[in-house]
Structure formats: structure tokens, C-alpha cells
């Protein structure tokens, strides 16, 4: 029976040693073959394919690559370690960046068009509300490897317009021993990262990693604290490999926005426009992974997960609706404070709860005398979101803080409850005609149902429910086409597969077909 292996990037080296018949002149000779990199082509780990067979320029990263860079965040490493990636800190916080790859973005900012999917041990961590990616919830020192798969590969699901980032985490079997790293710097920055793992006498492996980060920030009133813990226990037999991981995070991030040019000339570059601009992220993420080898050519891979994330934000902003002609220093005396208060305290709170499971079978038996690998799988994902938002009018103080006056802009209130369910089927097949020519066919079917309910009477009439079915087929690379259900309204070219989320509701049911 084949021994299991876990990392996504696997180096296979064959070393053959033979000896000539024993004589006085006989010498031992060694023949060493080339190293072959094997890449997993699905979010769940399977047997994988040799890199030269995969029809994409996949970039792979190991934990050794990450350790050599000594980066603070995963976004820092992506910007320096992967070609084509650039990072914008639009929130002026290293843990809240926009990660851009070939014009497509994965951002923590709600409302940003998301075009990249991010997976951790086979689980898509784009939030069900807005498809945003909270990079501060992924501990860097828990990563054993990453692969960036370019293009809109349907196996990775909807909204994988520009590519998918697949992350695998460490275990005590792959990363035994311990390490600790302490960094310090300007503006009160101090960061501590520690990890420890191993294999117990009963064969159970364990791993734990933690991160603590604090800084005052290079701008005024910009402190941040990050607390992350990752732990994993696992067991490996002759044909089965099982792992259970738990990730916890409790972060307080401050990132003040852009500053008017006049402030920079009057004060300095540490100045802020308004405050506060704070975000609190908390998360509990439980994930179970299982791999089982029926034989050398047939493998089952599956996972089940539960993820609960909570976000609170408090933003002091300039009131965009203020009328300068009737502005009052004390707007509480005004008949219409929304027109005469210079500031606004915008508060939001969201709870996202996700759970799901997925499984796939990998068959690597020859077909018609040619090498062939077929992967078929199915998945179910459920998301629940509670989102509340309000805007309190206020005055801007001399220190650029916003002081609330107890008057609210009712039109800005949101009290949303959203539920989504997605059922999916996917398959990918690679047929090798010879060592030079290979044909890959991938497809996915998704059925998604979304129900939204807004408790605010002023906006509840625009909230609706949506069912959507998606069929995505790719032959290597190609264009996609959107065809409406009745096949007569429109036929237009589309370069990717946009996901219908709780944030982005559409009135159409459609099929997405490509070739």
C-alpha cells in the first residue's frame, strides 16, 4: 500500500544504485534521475500532476521560502515572493491590504469587486458576505506551502476570475521541532511568532503556532494588535491520513484613510483626516481533512469545516451630506442635523457563520493505453450572515475625532439577515497522449440559493431572494459565454465566472458555458 503524503508540492527523487560483480577493479556506480514536482489541481489534496502537465503557470511556495523572507504578513510575502502580485495598503494597515494579481483583487474591504479565491486546507475562506478576504485571520507561520493557480479554473468555483491561492498548513509530522522569532521596529512595533510540533509515541502528530503583534502605527492614533493561534492534531496509517485543525484570531486593527493635501503641508505626514477608523476581527475555524488510498491509483480526499467570524467597525468620517452654507458648530440645535453636522460616526457589525463539506475521488489508471487522471467531486457550503449598520451624526473635534451628538441618519440603517446554500459538482480529467501532448478538461456545476431579509423598513423592499444555477466548462483555456435560461435574451462573451453573493444579488438565473 502506498504511504500517504501531505504537502501540495511534492518532490519525488529516484536514486538507483547498483554494483558490478565483485572483482578487484569493480566500482560502485550511481544513477540519479531528475526531480519531478507534483502539483495538486484541486482545492482538496490528491495524487496531483507533474508540473509540466498542468496547463497553467502555477507558482508554488514552500515554508522554507517563507522563513527566508522574514515577512510580517502573508500579503507581504505574496508581494515579494510571487510574480505578478502587488499589494495596496488602502487602509494604511499591513494586515488589511488589497492583494492584486493580474488586475484581479482579494480585499478585506466590503464592496470591492473580488476576483481571487483563497483556500486554506481545501476550505474557501472568502467570506460569504461580500466575498471579502480578511488576511489577518491567516497566520503566516502556520503555512507549509502555497500555490497560486492563474486563470478562471472552474474546479475552484465561482469568482475565481483571476486565479486561486491554495494554502496548506503545517503538521507535526511534516514540521517537527520548535522555533521562535521576535521582531521589533519603529513606532512601537513588536512581533513574536512561535511554533512547535512533533509525533507522539502512539503515532498521533501535533502542531501549534501562535503570533502576537503590536504597534502604535506610523500615523497618529493608529495602534493595532493581532493575536493568532493555529493548532492541528493528526494520525497517519498505512492507507489513511486524518487531521483536525483549529484556528483562532482576535485582532484590533486601526487604519486611518487618506489625508487632505492641506493637512500634510500644515502638519506632517503622520496627520490623519478623521478618527477613529477601527476594525475588530474575531474568528473560530475548525477543519477536518481525510485522505484514504484504496490502491496506488485510487484516492479519496474529503473535508468538513465550521467557521465563525465576527467583525466590528467604527469609522469617524466627514459627513458627505453636510451643507456648508448652513453649517453649525453645534449641530444639535439644528432642525435637520444631517445637513448641518460636519461629521458622522459610522458603525457596522457582522457575524458570518459558514459550514460545509466536500469530497473527491482521484483515479489515475490508464485509459486506452494512455496515462489518464480523472478527479470527480461534490461539495456543500452554507453561509449565514447578520449585518447591522448605522450612522450617527456628530462634530469633528480639534484632534480630528468625531464626537457623536445622538442624532442618526435613518436612511443609512441596515439590519440584514442573509442565508446562502450552495451545492456543487466538479470534475477534471487529464489525458496524456505522450510525454509532450496532454489534454485537460474541467467543469463544475453550482446551484446556489440566497435569502436576504432587511429589518429596516426604509430599505427592505429592495431585498429579495435569488436562486442561481451555474454550469462552467473549460477545455484548458478559453472564453466563457453567459446564456440566459430562455436562450433568447442575450449571448455575450465573458472572461470569468462571477459569483452571486449575499452582497451582490442578481435577478437572473443563468448558465455559464465555456470552451
Q: What is the pTM of this model?
A: 0.82
Whole-number pLDDT of residue 50: 85
Q: Is the peptide bond before 276 cis (omega within 30 degrees of 0)?
A: yes
Helices then strands, each counted (H, E), the chain = 4, 29
Would you say how long the chain is, in residues?
515
* Band of residue 381 on the pLDDT scale cut at 50, 70, 90: very high
Whole-number pLDDT of residue 466: 61
Asked whether residue 280 carries a pLDDT value surpassing 80, the answer given is: yes
Structure letter (DSSP) for residue 319: -
Whole-number pLDDT of residue 502: 54
As its CATH architecture, domain 10-514 has Beta Barrel (2.40)
The CA distances from residue 160 to 28, 60, 420, 439, in Å, are 53, 18, 18, 21
Does residue 186 contact residue 507 with C-beta atoms inside 8 Å?
A: no
Name the helix (H) or strand (E) containing 294: strand 277-295
Average pLDDT of span 294-314? 96
> What does the alpha-carbon distance between residue 329 and residue 368 come to, in Å, rounded to a whole number?
82
Whole-number pLDDT of residue 470: 55
Structure letter (DSSP) for residue 2: P
Query: Which grid cell is 156?
Result: 475552484
Q: By CB neighbour count within 10 A (0-12 exposed, 13-18 middle, 19+ buried), where does 201 fall?
A: exposed
Q: Which tens digits make up the pLDDT trace of 406-465?
A: 888 888 888 999 999 999 999 999 999 998 999 999 999 999 999 888 877 655 554 555
Q: By CB neighbour count within 10 A (0-12 exposed, 13-18 middle, 19+ buried), where does 200 fall?
A: exposed
* CA–CA–CA angle 164, 169, 170 (5° rounding): 155
Asked whether residue 505 carries a pLDDT value surpassing 50, the answer given is: no
Alpha carbons within 13 angstroms on the beta-carbon side of residue 388 total 5
What are the boundaries of each domain within the chain? 10-514
SS (H, E, C) 53-82: HCCCCCEEEEHHHHHHHCCCCHHHHHHHHC
Amino acid at each position: 500500500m502506498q504511504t500517504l503524503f501531505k504537502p501540495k508540492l511534492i518532490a519525488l527523487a529516484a536514486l538507483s544504485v547498483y554494483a558490478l560483480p565483485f572483482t578487484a577493479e569493480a566500482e560502485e556506480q550511481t544513477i540519479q534521475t531528475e526531480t519531478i514536482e507534483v502539483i495538486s489541481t484541486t482545492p482538496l489534496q490528491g495524487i496531483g500532476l507533474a508540473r509540466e502537465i498542468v496547463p497553467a503557470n502555477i507558482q508554488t511556495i514552500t515554508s522554507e521560502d517563507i522563513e527566508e523572507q522574514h515577512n510580517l504578513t502573508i500579503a507581504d510575502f505574496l508581494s515579494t515572493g510571487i510574480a505578478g502580485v502587488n499589494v495596496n495598503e488602502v487602509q494604511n494597515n499591513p494586515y488589511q491590504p488589497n492583494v492584486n494579481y493580474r488586475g484581479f483583487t482579494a480585499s478585506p474591504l466590503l464592496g470591492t469587486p473580488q476576483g481571487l479565491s483563497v483556500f486554506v486546507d481545501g476550505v474557501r475562506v472568502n467570506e460569504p458576505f461580500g466575498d471579502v478576504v480578511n488576511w489577518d485571520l491567516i497566520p503566516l507561520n502556520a503555512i507549509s506551502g502555497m500555490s497560486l493557480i492563474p486563470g478562471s479554473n472552474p474546479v475552484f468555483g465561482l469568482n475565481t476570475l483571476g486565479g486561486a491561492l491554495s494554502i496548506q498548513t503545517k503538521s507535526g509530522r511534516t514540521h517537527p521541532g520548535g522555533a521562535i522569532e521576535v521582531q521589533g521596529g519603529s513606532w512601537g512595533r513588536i512581533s513574536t511568532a512561535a511554533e512547535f510540533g512533533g509525533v507522539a509515541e502512539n503515532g498521533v502528530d501535533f502542531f501549534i503556532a501562535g503570533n502576537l503583534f503590536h504597534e502604535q502605527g506610523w500615523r497618529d492614533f493608529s495602534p493595532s494588535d493581532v493575536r493568532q493561534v493555529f493548532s492541528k492534531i493528526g494520525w497517519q496509517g498505512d492507507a489513511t491520513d486524518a487531521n483536525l485543525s483549529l484556528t483562532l484570531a482576535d485582532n484590533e486593527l486601526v487604519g486611518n484613510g487618506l489625508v487632505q493635501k492641506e493637512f500634510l503641508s500644515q502638519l506632517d505626514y503622520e496627520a490623519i483626516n478623521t478618527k477613529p477608523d477601527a476594525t475588530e476581527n474575531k474568528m473560530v475555524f475548525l477543519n477536518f481533512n481525510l485522505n484514504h488510498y484504496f490502491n496506488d491509483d485510487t484516492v479519496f480526499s474529503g473535508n468538513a469545516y465550521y467557521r465563525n467570524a465576527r467583525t466590528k467597525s467604527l469609522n469617524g468620517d466627514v459627513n458627505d451630506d453636510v451643507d456648508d452654507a448652513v453649517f453649525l458648530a453645534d449641530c444639535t440645535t439644528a432642525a435637520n442635523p444631517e445637513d448641518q453636522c460636519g461629521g458622522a460616526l459610522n458603525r457596522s457589525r457582522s457575524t458570518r457563520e459558514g459550514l460545509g463539506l466536500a469530497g473527491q475521488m482521484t483515479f489515475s489508471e490508464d485509459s486506452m493505453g494512455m496515462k489518464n487522471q480523472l478527479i470527480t467531486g461534490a461539495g456543500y457550503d452554507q453561509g449565514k450572515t447578520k449585518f447591522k449598520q448605522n450612522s450617527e451624526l456628530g462634530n469633528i473635534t480639534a484632534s480630528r475625532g468625531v464626537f457623536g451628538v445622538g442624532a442618526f441618519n435613518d436612511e443609512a440603517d441596515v439590519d440584514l439577515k442573509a442565508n446562502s446554500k450552495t451545492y456543487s459538482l466538479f470534475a477534471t480529467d487529464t489525458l496524456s497522449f505522450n510525454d509532450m501532448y496532454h489534454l485537460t478538461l474541467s467543469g463544475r456545476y453550482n446551484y446556489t440559493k440566497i435569502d436576504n431579509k432587511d429589518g429596516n423598513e426604509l430599505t427592505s423592499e429592495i431585498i429579495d431572494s435569488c436562486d442561481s444555477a451555474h454550469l462552467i466548462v473549460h477545455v484548458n483555456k478559453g472564453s466563457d459565454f453567459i446564456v440566459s435560461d430562455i436562450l433568447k435574451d442575450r449571448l455575450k462573451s465573458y472572461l470569468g465566472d462571477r459569483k452571486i453573493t449575499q452582497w451582490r444579488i442578481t435577478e437572473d438565473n443563468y448558465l455559464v458555458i465555456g470552451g
